[in-house]
Amino acid sequence: MKRTLLIVGLVLLSATVLFAQPAAEKKYSTLQMYAALDTEEAQYYIEAFEKSSGIKVEFVRMSSGEVGARIEAEKNNPQASVWFGGSNTDHINAHSKGLLMPYKPNTDFELAPMLHADDYGWNGFYTGAIGFVTNTEFLKKHNISAPQSWADLLDPVFHGQIEMAYPYTSGTGYTAWATIIQDKGLEKALDWWQLLDKNIHQYTASGTACIARAGLGECAVGIAFSHDIVAKGVGMGYPLVMSFPSEGTGYEVGGVSMIKGARQVEEAQIFIDWCFSEEAQNLFKKYSRLPVNPKATVAEGAIKLSDINLIDYDAVQMGQRKDEFVTAWRDRIGK
């Protein structure tokens, strides 16, 4: 009897110790996240966040489109709480399907209207413009200068030499297509693109693939976002030069949003707040993304949006009508 009591006592005691321990220490749950940034870059930001907040993060890296498909498939039982990164057009598209949960981040500055949904369903934490990336050896060989306008891309010298992502697989590809639509109107944009298509070597699935490919000389010109061109092309040491179309260019806003049905709401909110902090925004330097917090410093070599000719890009319309515009493109171009 005594022994039984002793055992029961011991079990109770150890149970208390076991359960008391986590209760005392565990303040936050582990934040589950889908990151539409490159693994290394996502890890760089997330480690900084873990250090400053004490919240542990587990993330899966996917392309923006994969995140969209996955949260739609998981909508009845969401597995992640935060969608970190990717063009806002994809966030807008997902938001229009009711997959996101609005949250207005606590910031120490005013978030411009172009940087968030009206109801804060998504929030933009960096920006970047569409630009051209050209192989300098190709330019030397043909004794020409890098394309300075959309019209330059139609030059026969670039026949079979231009690459970019499919408008339907990549935020980058879609932003480029949307830029042309907004500039010319849908019908004229389709006609123009048929001309451009003659010079296209191939479309890639990923938005950044054309940068290194231009660097390797597999194509002469790539169309991509400025921050990617700097971080993955020029900055890596490839023989590349960046230029922007004089007619005006489109830009992306990188989105962060809370997934509807998120389990770690508080942790997700802390993370989203952190994305806009001066500390986080200063980290973007390393990957040449343009910060939205005015206190943050901009990377060397990165082009500020104020330095280039931007079109009045209507991200909301372009996000909501994405399916329509993309289908029109595919029906005409046939790819």
Partner 1 sequence: MKQQSKSRVQQINEIKKLIREPFLFISILVIFYLLIVFVLFPIFQVFKTSFMIDGQLSLKNYRDVLRQSYYIRPLFNSILLGLIVATIGTFVGFVFAYAITRTPMRGKGIFRLIATFPMVSPPFVVALACILLFGRSGIFAGAIGNIYGLTGLTVVETIAYAPTAFLALIGVLQAIDPSLEEAAMDCGASRGKVFSTIIFPLALPGIVSAWLLVFIQSLADFGTPMILSGNYQVLSVQAYLQITGMFDLARGSTLAILLLVPTVIAFYLQKYLLSKKSYVTVTGKPTSATIKNLEWYIKYPIYAMCFLFALIVLLFYGMVVWGSFQKLWGVDSTLTLRNYVQMWKIGKKYIKDSLLLSLIVTPITGILGMFIAYLISRKQFIGRNLMEFSSMLTFAVPGTVVGIGYILAFNNPSFLMPVTLTGTSIIIITLLIFRNLPVGIRNGVAAIEQIDPSIEEASIDLGADSGTTFRKITLPMITPAFFSGLANCFVRSMTAISAIIFVVSGRWNFITVAVLGFVDNSQYAQAAAMSLLLIAIVVLALGLIQLITNRLGKGMQSFSIIE
Minimum CB–partner distance for residue 197 and partner 1 (Å): 10
Q: How far apart are CA 237 and CA 104, in angstroms?
A: 40
Q: How far apart are CA 292 and CA 289, in angstroms?
A: 9
Minimum CB–partner distance for residue 205 and partner 1 (Å): 6
CB-wise, 12 or 73, nearer to partner 1?
Answer: 73
Asked if 197 and 329 count as a contact pair (C-beta separation under 8 A), the reply is no
CB-wise, 79 or 246, nearer to partner 1?
Answer: 79
CB-wise, 114 or 186, nearer to partner 1?
Answer: 186
Look at residue 76 and give its three-state secondary structure. Answer: coil
Minimum CB–partner distance for residue 275 and partner 1 (Å): 18
What contacts 72, CB < 8 A, 6 or more positions away? 94, 97, 99
CB-wise, 66 or 247, nearer to partner 1?
Answer: 66
Q: How far is CA 135 from CA 154, 168, 197, 223, in A?
A: 17, 26, 19, 12
Minimum CB–partner distance for residue 166 and partner 1 (Å): 7
Q: Running DSSP on this structure, what letter comes out for residue 100?
A: E
Asked if 242 and 288 count as a contact pair (C-beta separation under 8 A), the reply is no
Q: How far apart are CA 335 and CA 223, in angstroms?
A: 18
SS3 percent helix, strand, coil of the chain, rounded to 5, is 50, 20, 35
Minimum CB–partner distance for residue 26 and partner 1 (Å): 17
CB-wise, 108 or 137, nearer to partner 1?
Answer: 137
CB-wise, 202 or 246, nearer to partner 1?
Answer: 202
Q: How many CA atoms lie within 13 A of 151 on its CB side?
A: 4
Q: How far apart are CA 310 and CA 279, in angstroms?
A: 28
Minimum CB–partner distance for residue 246 and partner 1 (Å): 28
CB-wise, 156 or 334, nearer to partner 1?
Answer: 334
Minimum CB–partner distance for residue 222 and partner 1 (Å): 11
Residue numbers at the binding site for partner 1 (CB under 8 A): 30, 32-33, 38-40, 43, 57-63, 65-66, 68-70, 72-74, 76-77, 79-80, 93-94, 97, 166, 168-170, 201-202, 205-206, 208-209, 211-213, 215-219, 232, 236-239, 323, 326, 330-331, 334-335
